[in-house]
DNA sequence: TATATCACG
DNA sequence: ACGTACGTGATATAT
């Protein structure tokens, strides 16, 4: 028998706040109300063993109650900030507990619960409602029992209709009348002045309801009669206000509240983050977080500052050292400054200044850093590798990167800093970088004693974090992903970045002059046609010219004013010739500023190359991203922009640029994970997937598919990968939503396996709170159960897209690791230079060209075996443009 | 520092 | 009824 618990979140957290003594965590956040709430919740879970749990929250400042009575809840003290700051903490904790949270704009928590209990009555479900508000008694029935907090929060008194009768002599519905007569100071509901609980009960026992009391005043006498007659209207309104609304348009169902028990890997960190150590212990959750911290308290970090004299002591023990922290400054690791180095193990760390590190005396330390056989654990070792390299020091042997592990454990966590991680794992907190060094223009490297101590503490924190992450990786089955894919890849990326790709400065400048001419010409023409000179780069000024001065129709608005993006301009083009010129100007201005001027700045004086930096811990799906400059968005779609690719050339004479890209990797991945027979068949036969889709969806032979049909099918395929919606597709194809919906329906009719996948993956996300790729990469989707339609829909599309995009990312990463091995094994001179999501770019000497033309696609295609073949297409030429 | 725009997969 | 396609980074203004 299912057992449901519905909790009035707002009521309980208020109760808890006032019932608990103040409590703050190490960051100074108040946590007492969350603590009280949690103890109550754990008790409920233990005592009632519910199968379904839900916590309802008030949403929106104005509820329907305010419409009739503006003073509703007026006079109530504003929620103290010490409590407000705890709402997000509570919600995050509940997320970690896997407990559903419902809220609905314009309604209060008790209305949501009222609606659900009505449904429960209709369906005969056993429900326990928990609140601190006596009003809830009006919901009681045979099926619905009410638990009210007594004194604190953990002590809960249960009521069913019989117990209400016994206590008050009233039926549940009469509880509303009770409040109508006596009012409620906390909600600013007036009732009848002078009528308290005693009088109200007496009146109700005599008359039965507010209405009958008001009708029967003849039977009363004296002061009482006067007061009731004078405040009849107040009583009626009060009753109305006290009535819980039981028909809110709630979308969620009972299944959305399913509770599968606390999962240590989710609930543990959530509790640890709040520093609820006693609760962790009570749940006997692995000291994941508690005992480790006692093993390495920050206070016990022994730090010293190495000098030329003491360094010999250090290198006598270097072999046993496996933790280091290298502090750098500057976003671009190729140009980062070295601030200092801390190395050590087991709580004893030594600081080396950059000067010392470069001294003759430190030669053994540098040898140690470059020795691949000496394992090293630390934070952001990819950046460390590049920064050291830029200062002539080689780095090898990275065995555990804390930042990379943190990314795999939660790729959307925005605070991946060491300090953020100590907080997350309930370790002794670390001072923030900013407060030691300052930030931005205020950045200052502190004196050696302070800096040394700080960096040693960071190293110690890294050492303390690692065992916790190892445990988490283990329980998430991510060991292979971490040790065999991401860690090796990190070194490969560093190699690619150090290698860089040659860019021809003169050609780029020539291209710039060509663009410049056209830009000037277009500017002059635009100023002439519009009759004004203005800053064309300012969307604001452009908007004023187009819409105010020239009176063109407004198609779309941004939150700050008129929208002037390309989509809008396309629509305006027929009205005025100036618009076409603006579109062309925009295109060239983009090429000029980002790709000519921007790229020129990034070409190194030293080697004439561009050294990008791949970020391995940013994209939520597992993709890489590229910075300084971004080499993953070099133009290709438009010929003008594509010319930029001509400047990327081999770094040695006679070599070629060779590029290989996966064909339709995302749809192939989809075919595999959805196991859709039709989609798989298409790839087994190596058909043109968009034509095939069109022929299936429109029910015509492949040779009868025309350009429009193929274009539509292509858009549908894209939509499918992105997590389709009729609206999105309609925008893309410039058709109505209805037509788009029809396309989608027809698509799913044909590709039923895909439909099943889309349904299942969303269910899975709801259940687990995350989705996974083939290689067990995870992405948490905390908003999958949100009551806000937009948030929830977004999470649903993400649930559909992430396994596809993420598995494709897994595959090309595998290919990169295997390709690196293949090049080494064969002792080839060819070098892997770039990755562009589904494409790998190499530079290849002439005598290896024939081999590489076979080897690269072969490795890519075999990177991971799926139920459909993977296909990689290779091309080469004198530059990146020709390798198409 | 935020917003709008646009380059890529 | 709700209002968006998924994932990034760089550039220019405007604040």
Class of domain A305-476: alpha beta
Mean pLDDT of A767-782: 95
Nucleotide minimizing C1' to CA distance for residue A716: C5
pLDDT in tens, A804-844: 999 999 999 999 999 999 999 999 999 999 999 999 999 99
Q: What is the CATH number of domain A170-245?
A: 1.10.150.20
Query: For the residues of A756-807, what is the DSSP string, one character each?
Result: HHHHHHHHHHHHHSEEE-TT--EEE-GGGG-SSHHHHHHHHHHHHHHHHHHH
pLDDT in tens, A252-271: 888 888 888 888 777 887 88
* Chain B positions with a protein C-beta closer than 7 Å: 1, 3-9
**Per mean pLDDT, which of A12-21, A440-449, A649-658 is the most reliable?**
A649-658
pLDDT at position A292 is 38
pLDDT in tens, A544-553: 999 999 999 9
Give the closest residue to B3 (Cα–C1′): A560
Nucleotide minimizing C1' to CA distance for residue A642: B7
In the predicted model, is pLDDT for residue A562 greater than 60?
yes
pLDDT in tens, A416-431: 999 999 988 989 889 8
Nucleotide minimizing C1' to CA distance for residue A726: C5
Nucleotide minimizing C1' to CA distance for residue A722: C6
pLDDT in tens, A130-180: 988 888 888 999 999 998 888 777 788 888 888 888 888 888 888 888 887
pLDDT at position A75 is 47
Per-residue confidence band for A293, with pLDDT thresholds at 50, 70 and 90:
very low
The torsion region of residue A159 among left (phi > 0), alpha (psi -120 to 50) and beta comes to beta
In the predicted model, is pLDDT for residue A513 greater than 90?
yes
Distance A880 CA to B9 C1' (A): 16
pLDDT at position A67 is 53
**Rounded Cα distance, A685 and A664, in Å:** 14
In the predicted model, is pLDDT for residue A852 greater than 50?
yes
In the predicted model, is pLDDT for residue A850 greater than 90?
yes
Question: Residue A154: CB partners within 8 Å, gap ≥ 6?
Answer: A36, A39, A40, A43
Mean pLDDT of A436-442: 87
A 10 A CB-CB count for A358 gives 16
**Rounded Cα distance, A494 and A389, in Å:** 10
Give the closest residue to C8 (Cα–C1′): A625
Distance A836 CA to B8 C1' (A): 8
Distance A795 CA to C5 C1' (A): 13
Give the closest residue to C13 (Cα–C1′): A538
Distance A623 CA to C1 C1' (A): 36
Q: A350 pairs with which residues across the strands?
A: A304, A343
Homologous superfamily, domain A1-168+253-287: 5'-nuclease (3.40.50.1010)
pLDDT at position A459 is 97
The H-or-E segment that residue A524 falls in is helix A505-530
* Chain C positions with a protein C-beta closer than 7 Å: 1-15
Give the closest residue to C9 (Cα–C1′): A630
Domain regions of chain A by residue span: 1-168+253-287, 170-245, 305-476, 504-607, 667-806
3-state secondary structure A42-110: HHHHHHHCCCEEEEEECCCCCCHHHHHCCCCCCCCCCCCHHHHCHHHHHHHHHHHHCCEEEECCCCCHH
Q: What is the CATH number of domain A504-607?
A: 1.20.1060.10
Task: Decide yes or no: CATH 3.40.50.11740 for domain A667-806.
Answer: no
pLDDT at position A638 is 95
Fold match, A305-476 / A504-607: no
Per-residue confidence band for A278, with pLDDT thresholds at 50, 70 and 90:
confident
**Rounded Cα distance, A367 and A362, in Å:** 9
Mean pLDDT of A277-285: 77
Give the closest residue to B2 (Cα–C1′): A560
């Amino acid at each position: 028998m299912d057992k449901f618990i519905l909790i009035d979140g707002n009521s309980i957290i208020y109760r808890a706040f006032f019932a608990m003594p103040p409590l703050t965590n190490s960051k100074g956040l108040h946590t007492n109300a969350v603590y009280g709430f949690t103890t109550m919740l754990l008790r409920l879970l233990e005592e009632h063993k519910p199968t379904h749990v839900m916590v309802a929250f008030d949403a929106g400042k104005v509820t329907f109650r305010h419409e009739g009575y503006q003073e509703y809840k007026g006079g109530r003290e504003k929620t103290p900030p010490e409590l407000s700051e705890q709402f997000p903490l509570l919600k995050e904790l509940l997320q970690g507990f896997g407990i559903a949270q419902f809220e609905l704009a314009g309604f209060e928590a008790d209305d949501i619960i009222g609606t659900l209990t009505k449904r429960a009555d209709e369906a005969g479900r056993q429900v326990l409602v928990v609140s601190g508000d006596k009003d809830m008694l009006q919901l009681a029935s045979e099926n619905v029992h009410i638990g009210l907090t007594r004194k604190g929060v953990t002590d809960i008194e249960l009521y069913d209709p019989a117990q209400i009768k016994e206590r008050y002599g009233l039926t549940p519905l009469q509880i509303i009348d009770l409040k109508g007569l006596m009012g409620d100071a906390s909600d600013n509901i007036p009732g009848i002045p002078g009528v308290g609980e005693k009088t109200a009960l007496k009146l109700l026992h005599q008359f039965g309801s507010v209405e009958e009391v008001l009708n029967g005043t003849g039977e009363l006498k004296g002061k009482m009669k006067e007061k009731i007659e004078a405040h009849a209207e107040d009583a009626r309104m009060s009753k109305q206000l006290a009535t819980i609304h039981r028909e809110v348009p709630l979308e969620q169902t009972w299944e959305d509240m399913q509770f599968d028990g606390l999962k240590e890997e989710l609930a543990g960190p959530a509790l640890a983050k709040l520093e609820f150590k006693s609760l962790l212990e009570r749940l006997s959750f692995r000291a994941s977080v508690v005992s480790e911290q006692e093993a390495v308290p920050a206070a016990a970090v022994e730090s010293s500052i190495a000098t030329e004299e003491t360094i010999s002591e250090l290198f006598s023990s270097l072999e046993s050292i496996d933790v280091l922290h290298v502090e750098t400054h500057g976003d671009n690791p190729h140009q980062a400054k070295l601030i200092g180095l801390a190395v050590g193990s087991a709580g004893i760390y030594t600081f080396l200044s950059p000067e010392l590190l470069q001294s003759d005396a430190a030669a053994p330390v540098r040898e140690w850093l470059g020795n691949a056989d000496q394992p090293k654990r630390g934070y952001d070792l990819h950046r460390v590798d590049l920064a050291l390299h830029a200062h002539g020091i080689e780095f090898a042997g990275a065995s555990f990167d804390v930042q990379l592990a943190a990314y795999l454990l939660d790729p959307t966590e925005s605070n991946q800093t060491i300090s953020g991680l100590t907080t997350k794992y309930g370790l002794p907190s670390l001072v923030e970088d900013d407060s030691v060094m300052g930030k931005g223009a205020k950045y200052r490297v502190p004196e050696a004693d302070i800096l040394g101590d700080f960096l040693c503490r960071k190293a110690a924190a890294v050492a303390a974090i690692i065992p916790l992450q190892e445990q988490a990786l283990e329980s998430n089955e991510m060991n292979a992903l971490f040790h065999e894919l991401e860690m090796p890849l990190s070194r490969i990326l560093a190699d690619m970045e150090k290698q860089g790709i040659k860019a021809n400065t003169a050609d780029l400048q020539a291209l710039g002059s060509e663009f410049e001419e056209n830009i000037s010409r277009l500017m002059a023409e635009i100023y002439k046609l519009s009759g004004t000179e203005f800053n064309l780069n300012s969307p604001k000024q452009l908007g004023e010219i187009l819409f105010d001065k020239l009176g063109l129709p407004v198609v779309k608005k941004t939150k700050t004013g008129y929208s002037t993006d390309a989509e809008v301009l396309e629509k305006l083009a027929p009205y005025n010739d100036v618009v076409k010129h603006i579109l062309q100007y925009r295109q060239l201005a983009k090429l000029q500023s980002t790709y000519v001027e921007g790229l020129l700045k990034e070409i190194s004086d030293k080697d004439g190359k561009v050294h990008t930096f791949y970020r391995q811990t940013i994209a939520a799906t597992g993709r890489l991203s590229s910075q300084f400059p971004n080499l993953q968005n070099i133009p290709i779609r438009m010929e003008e922009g594509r010319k930029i690719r001509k400047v990327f050339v081999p770094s040695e004479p006679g070599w070629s640029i060779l590029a290989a890209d996966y064909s339709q990797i995302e749809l192939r991945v989809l075919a595999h994970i959805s196991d859709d027979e039709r989609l798989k068949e298409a790839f087994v036969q190596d058909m043109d997937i968009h034509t095939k889709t069109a022929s299936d969806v429109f029910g015509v032979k492949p040779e009868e598919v025309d350009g429009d049909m193929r274009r539509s099918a292509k858009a549908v395929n894209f939509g499918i990968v992105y997590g389709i919606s009729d609206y999105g597709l309609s925008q893309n194809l410039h058709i109505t939503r209805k037509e788009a919906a029809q396309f989608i329906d027809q698509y799913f009719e044909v590709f039923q396996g895909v439909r099943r996948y889309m349904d299942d993956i969303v269910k899975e996300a709801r259940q687990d709170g995350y989705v996974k790729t083939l290689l067990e990469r995870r992405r948490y989707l905390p908003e999958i159960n949100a009551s806000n339609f937009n948030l929830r829909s977004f999470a649903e599309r993400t649930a559909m897209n992430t396994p596809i995009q993420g598995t494709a990312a897994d595959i090309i990463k595998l290919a990169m690791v295997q390709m690196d091995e293949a090049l080494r094994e064969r002792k080839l001179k060819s070098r892997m230079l770039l990755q562009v999501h589904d494409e790998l770019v190499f530079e290849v000497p002439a005598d290896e060209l024939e081999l590489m033309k076979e080897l690269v696609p072969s490795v890519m295609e075999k990177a991971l075996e799926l139920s459909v073949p993977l296909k990689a297409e290779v091309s080469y030429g004198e530059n990146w443009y020709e390798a198409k």
